[in-house]
Structure formats: structure tokens, C-alpha cells
Amino acid sequence: MEALVSAALGDLVSRSISFAVDRWRKGGGIDQDAPQRLRRLLLRVQAVVEEADRRRVTNQSMLRQLQLLREGLYRGYYLLCAFMISQDREATSHPSPSSALSRFNPAKRLRRSTVSDREAELQEVLAGLERMASDTKELVVFLSCYPPLMNREPYSRHLWLENCLFGRQAEQDRIISFLLEPEAGPEHPSVLPVIGRPRVGKSTLVEHVCHDDRVRKHFSLIVFFGKCDTGDGKLLPLGDGGGVVKHRDLASPGKSLVVIELAADADEHTWGRTLCKLRGEYEVPVSKVVVTSRSDKIASFGTTQALELNLLPREAYWYYFKTVAFGGSTDAEEQPELADVCMEMADLLNRSFLAANQVGNLLRCNPCPQFWRRILKCFKEYYSMHLRLFGEDPRDLLENDRPVYLWKLFPNVDGALIGYRFYKVCSAQQRDDLPTVTADDLHHTRSAKFRGKFEVLIWRSRIPPYYSYLLSCGVQASSSPLCELPRNKQRKQQQQQP
């Protein structure tokens, strides 16, 4: 019965795609009904993608085809939303306040483009989806052969996105494929380096891989060494009471997986000594090692090509952010004024999952255009102030343990709010020690109760390894802190001069 339903769904998708493409081919161009036809096409492609996400697909060709469908889906929704925003602005004959704030707004670019350009881009997306989905019927039939992976309700899309590893299916499959391939032998463990910028999701990706049933059945022991175990690239404390056992099942095959998170660079000599230590450390031999780092220098440690984890594509990140911000209850293109702010905010957040969830949840609580524009304005002023005063992005300042000035983001707090240190802790281990003050409190509470130094809970992740992200803050009583910043900058520059 399930195969029959899947076949019917695949046939429906193929027919709808062919119908949409045939119409613009016969008409010689895109008519006014093109956005609606694109919407219907995207809904049907989305049905296939969501069905695939519910199943444990192992065929590599199917995985590649599904990845192409996801990319086309995100691009299609992104273009559809930008097109509807552009149409709405033309109908009102004036730009929105949020659009006027930035010349890089996607809807503003579409508004300036010609009609033929818009039609050409819509035609390109429709044709691209048609090519990618030409075998959708067979794909859906094959999907029915794979067991379900999870159950979720269609009305809780944003909750599902916040509780899943979004946009990393290809990278996750790459690591699992490496871990399940035949071992070279206990004397020569295979090593996969995973590199990427800070907070791009390296630890989260590897943690999800370690929770996969196929990986847990393949290894009898999985041990994780964090930054506190490895130190500043020394690595030698491995096994001396350090590390966290993520999985132990002595009934499984006698193989161990070791995950190492490096806090700093390590040289080849130290890495070689570490591998020698690992070979004799455990009751079962270490056959695979995954090492994560911000530095691309560790790529040379691998026995296979390193996996470089990049930021999500722009369209995929926007899809994630708009789903969180709108709560999955309505389509962004149905509210072009809010969607306009959402698009511009997504470009500001530098494709950060943490920011997407923290800001998206804040916007979802108050779906009011005036509120959304006010939050957007606060973020713009926050970033521009740091670039003007220090020539650096505030996110880079925090990464280097330098203070940032937050009164633009939280104008309700009396005094000058300063952030000193941004860090993360494991929620599962330190749940009782988490601060009670949240970022939402700073946004919504107009009070003088915030004084001195205190900790703020910025966001608590709902997916493994369940990190909580904290910010050490302080409030200065100065009524005009901006007057002091240029002098501090000038004094620092003078100290750096020879």
C-alpha cells in the first residue's frame, strides 16, 4: 500500500512539473501566473524532500539527487519570496523602510531589474526543477523501500527544523561513509580531518554522526576528547582520565572510534606521538579517528581528504531563518512586508545557526512589521557602530575575547551594556548552573535591575551536543559611553606603535 501511495505521489509531482514547464514553453515566456505555478511546483518537490528526510537513505546516487532537489527547493522559495516582495513594492509605489536601509536588499535588486530579467530567472528556476525532478516518480518509489527514520507532524515545521541537523545531509553522509568503510588495520587507524570556521557546526555534525545507529553498531567504543583534554595542541593527556565515552557496547565488533577536538594547531611530530598513544590505550583497537579544528593545517593529518565545513548557501540559510521566524504557520511570500525584513535580517546574521534561532524566536513572538523593522534597525546600528569605531565585525571581536558594546541591541537596559566573553557549556552537564537572565529579558524588560556584571543565556540548543551559549555582560552607569570609545581606540593604537 505504501509503495502504491509513493508511486502516486511521484506521478503527481512529475505531471505538475511537466505541466508548468509546458505552459511557459508554449506561451513563449513567463506569464503573470508564473509565481503561483512555481509555488505549486515547489510544494510538490518539498513533499518529496520531506518524505526523504523521514527515511534512512543509503544509496549514494539517490542522496546526490536529493541534495540537488534541496538546493533547487531553497533557491526556488528564495526567488519566489523576493519576486513577491518586488511586486508588492511596485504596487505600493514606494520602498519599505527596511528596504531603504540597505542597498544590498535582494528584493530591492529585483525591483530595479527589468521585467524580462525577472521572467528569465523564473524560467531558469522552473526549467532547473524540471530537469532535476524528471525522475521523481522513480525516486519516490525507491524511497518507500527505506525504513522510516523519524516521525514528525506537518504543522510543527519550525519545531522540527530547530530539532534537526539542517542543511548538513551531504557532510553527514560523507563522514558516515568514511566510518563504515573497511579498516586498514589496528596499526594504521584511518583519520578524517574536519575543518571549518568557529561555530560553523563541526562538533554538532560529528555528534550527530556518533548518534547514528549504523555507526554505533559498527564500533564497540566511541570516545570524545574535547578542547580541555587536548590543551593547546599538546594532545598528550589523551586517555589519562580525560575524554568522554559516548558509546560502549562490547558485544559489537572490536573497533574503537576516537573523536578529537583541537583547540589550537598541532605539529606533525605531536600528532604522530598521539596516534602511537591511541594504538595502545584501549581494550579494543582504534580503527578510525575524526579530528576537528578551525585550522586548515590539520588537513595534512588525514589519511583521506579533509572535510571542509563551509557556511550554508545563502538560500538555504534564508529558508531556515524564515521558517523559524514565521513559525511555519504561514508562507513568507504571503506577508511581503515581514518577508522583506526577514530577507535583509538573514543577510546580516552571517549565516549563523545560533543567531537564526535567537533572532528568529524573538521575531516570531511578535509578528508586527513595526517591531520587526525596529529589531532590524537595532542590528544595523550595532554592526555599523563597531565597524566605524574599530574597523571590525563585533562577532570577530568576541571570538578574540574582546568586548563588544550592546546598547544598540538592547536599548531597554539603562546604562551602557557591554559584552565581555562569549562561550558555550554543555547543557546536559550544567543545566542547574545556567543563568536565569536570557537575551529575551534584555529585549523586553525595561528596568534598572541589570547592574554590575552578570551572565546571560543567549540560546540553548535542542540538538546534540545540547550546548548552551552564554555571554558575560556588564552595565556601566555612563550616560554617554560613545564619547569614550574613540579615545580608547586612539589610546590602543598609540600603544601598538613602536
- Expressed in angstroms, the distance from the first to the final Cα of the chain is 79
If you average pLDDT over residues 351-367, what whole number do you get?
92
The reported pLDDT for the residue numbered 329 is: 60
The reported pLDDT for the residue numbered 113 is: 53
CA distance linking residue 42 with residue 36, whole number of Å? 10
Q: What is the pLDDT of residues 69-110, one digit of tens each?
A: 899 899 989 988 888 888 777 777 555 444 444 444 555 555
If you average pLDDT over residues 137-166, what whole number do you get?
70
The reported pLDDT for the residue numbered 280 is: 66
CA distance linking residue 450 with residue 484, whole number of Å? 21
Q: What is the pLDDT of residues 422-468, one digit of tens each?
A: 998 876 555 567 888 888 888 876 655 778 899 999 998 888 888 89
CA distance linking residue 437 with residue 455, whole number of Å? 7
CA distance linking residue 325 with residue 323, whole number of Å? 6
The reported pLDDT for the residue numbered 150 is: 56
If you average pLDDT over residues 157-166, what whole number do you get?
72
Strands 416-426 and 467-476: antiparallel
If you average pLDDT over residues 273-292, what whole number do you get?
81
- Kindly tell me if the per-residue pLDDT of 288 is higher than 60: yes
**Buried residues in 17-28 as b, exposed as e (16+ CB within 10 A):** beebbeebeeee
| Residue among 122, 132, 159 nearest 48 (CA) | 132
CA distance linking residue 11 with residue 135, whole number of Å? 10
- Confirm if 328 and 156 have CB atoms less than 8 A apart: yes
Q: How confident is the model at residue 251 (pLDDT cuts 50, 70, 90)?
A: confident
If you average pLDDT over residues 17-25, what whole number do you get?
43
Cell numbers describing residue 308: 571542509
Q: Where are the alpha helices (DSSP H) in 219-329?
A: 227-230, 268-279, 314-326
Q: Which residues pair with 376 in a beta bridge?
A: none
Q: What is the pLDDT of residues 178-221, one digit of tens each?
A: 999 988 766 788 999 999 998 899 999 999 999 998 999 999 98
- Kindly tell me if the per-residue pLDDT of 489 is higher than 60: no
**Which range is most confident: 272-286, 459-473, 483-497?**
459-473
Please give the mean pLDDT across all residues of the chain. 78
Q: Which residues pair with 256 in a beta bridge?
A: 221, 286
CA distance linking residue 408 with residue 417, whole number of Å? 9
Q: Where are the alpha helices (DSSP H) in 151-196?
A: 157-162, 169-180
HSE-up (13 A, CA, CB side) for residue 477? 2
